């Protein structure tokens, strides 16, 4: 089993969507997410999209890196520029990639659907490609 960490600023939208999509769609991988400055909550539109797609899990929550730092990650993915620029050092060397997405927070539900689709169509293939290397 390979472990992936998806990071963004608030860990309320993009990184949660990434975590859920990776867990649902990529076999042999366990995804986690965290925020540089976590909001402490998951955006209600994110939960709604994940429920509507049958991939919501009650274990998903907004968290800080401290909660997952002891996991040995095979890949760290940043999904916003702020997380990329401030990505911390990890206890051991780990491969990092960046695929940025526009933050849908504060926008209407359709923007969240768009972000969900972009993460599924753009991020998941990049993760699969990077895990093969």
For the chain, give every domain's residue range.
2-128
Contact between residue 122 and residue 99 where contact means Cβ atoms under 8 Å apart: yes
pLDDT of residue 132: 84
DSSP symbols for 15-49: HHHHHHHHHHHSTTEEEEEEESS--SS--HHHHHH
- The third-level CATH classification (topology) of the domain covering 2-128 is Rossmann fold (3.40.50)
Neighbouring C-alpha atoms within 13 Å toward the C-beta of 100: 8
Q: How confident is the model at residue 110 (pLDDT cuts 50, 70, 90)?
A: very high
Neighbouring C-alpha atoms within 13 Å toward the C-beta of 124: 19
Burial degree of 51 (CB within 10 A; 0-12, 13-18, 19+): exposed
Contact between residue 103 and residue 82 where contact means Cβ atoms under 8 Å apart: no
Q: How confident is the model at residue 101 (pLDDT cuts 50, 70, 90)?
A: very high
Dist CA 94 CA 76 (whole Å) = 7
pTM comes to 0.94
What is the residue whose two structure tokens read 């899990």?
A: 57
Kindly list the catalytic residues. Answer: 8, 80, 87
Per-residue pLDDT of 118-129, as tens digits, reads 999 999 999 999
pLDDT of residue 89: 67
- % of the chain at pLDDT higher than 70: 97
Residue 52: how many other CB atoms lie within 10 Å: 11
Average pLDDT (55-59) is 96
């Amino acid at each position: 089993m390979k472990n992936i960490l998806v990071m963004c600023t608030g860990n309320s939208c993009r990184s949660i969507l990434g975590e859920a999509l990776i867990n649902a769609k990529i076999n042999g991988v366990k995804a986690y997410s965290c925020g540089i400055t976590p909001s402490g909550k998951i955006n209600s539109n994110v939960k709604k999209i994940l429920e509507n797609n049958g991939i919501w899990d009650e274990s998903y929550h907004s968290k800080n890196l401290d909660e997952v730092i002891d996991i040995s990650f095979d890949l760290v993915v940043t999904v916003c520029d702020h997380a990329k620029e401030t990505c911390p050092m990890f206890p051991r060397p780990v491969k990092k990639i960046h695929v940025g997405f526009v933050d849908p927070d504060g926008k209407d539900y359709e923007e969240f659907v768009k972000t969900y689709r972009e993460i599924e169509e753009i991020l998941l293939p990049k993760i699969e490609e990077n895990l093969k290397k």
